[in-house]
Amino acid sequence: MGEIRKLQAPLADADVHSLNAGDEVLISGVVYTARDMAHKRLCEAIEAGRELPFELAGAIIYFVGPTPAAPGRVIGAAGPTTSSRMDPFSPALIANGLKAMIGKGYRGEAVREALKKNGAVHLATLGGAGALLSKCILASEIIAYEELGTEAVRKLQVVDFPAVVAYDCYGNSVYKQESAIK
């Protein structure tokens, strides 16, 4: 582990290819939120050839369902959800240009293969620190699937949002016990 890397979203291929498992990053720019039901709808739209609510090319999706914002705040607590819940959907999104995801925990083999094949990364952030993470979010706007409530797709404007490269595009991982969970 070296210096903390600053990333500007959306990401370019060069950004992704410069990252290695274990690198610490601070993300600024636009990040989108999506959890299980939103992922399902995004994949259904891809399968049906419908336009998506945001451009996947270079995008980062944060697996979060934030709590309601307190008065004077743009968002409530915004901690990551378990990444493996998005495993059935992530390969299709990665194949369509998604460059990074943020969550917590392990990813399945199909996701890890999609990261390598398509040049993308999976980032991990601090579970249980949603109130702290929300301080890195300057703006939040629901852009799709409002009826999903907290799981609606949001466009976030973030500054110095902290994460670690958990899986890089070369097949490396920060998880030492990966083979034990297969």
Reported confidence tier of residue 181, pLDDT bands at 50, 70, 90: very low
Q: Tell me what the mean pLDDT of segment 119-132 comes to.
A: 90
Question: What pLDDT score does 182 carry?
Answer: 45
Question: What pLDDT score does 15 carry?
Answer: 97
Q: Tell me what the mean pLDDT of segment 97-101 comes to.
A: 98
Q: Is residue 180 part of a domain?
A: no
Q: Which domain holds residue 71?
A: 5-169
Cα–Cα distance measured from residue 66 to residue 134, given in angstroms and rounded to the nearest whole number? 9
Q: Is residue 35 part of a domain?
A: yes
Q: Is residue 179 part of a domain?
A: no
- What CATH number is given to the structural domain containing 98? 3.20.130.10
For residue 39, the SS3 value is helix
Question: What pLDDT score does 177 carry?
Answer: 57
Least confident of 12-21, 25-34, 69-78, 172-181: 172-181
74-89: pLDDT as tens digits: 999 999 999 999 999 9
Model-level pTM?
0.94
Closest by CA to 103, choosing from 89, 82, 88, 120, is: 82
Q: Tell me what the mean pLDDT of segment 40-58 comes to.
A: 97
Q: Is residue 182 part of a domain?
A: no
Count of domains forming the chain: 1
Q: Tell me what the mean pLDDT of segment 63-76 comes to.
A: 93
Q: Tell me what the mean pLDDT of segment 26-32 comes to.
A: 98
Reported confidence tier of residue 180, pLDDT bands at 50, 70, 90: very low
Percentage of the chain beyond pLDDT 70 is: 96
Does residue 38 surpass a pLDDT of 50?
yes
Q: Is residue 175 part of a domain?
A: no
Q: Is residue 88 part of a domain?
A: yes
The pair of structure tokens assigned to 79 is 């901690």
Q: Tell me what the mean pLDDT of segment 139-167 comes to.
A: 97
Q: Is residue 62 part of a domain?
A: yes
Task: Decide if 20 contacts 172 (C-beta within 8 A).
Answer: yes
Q: Is residue 174 part of a domain?
A: no
Does residue 99 surpass a pLDDT of 70?
yes
Q: What are phi and psi of 19, to 5 degrees?
A: -95, 145
Cα–Cα distance measured from residue 161 to residue 6, given in angstroms and rounded to the nearest whole number? 9
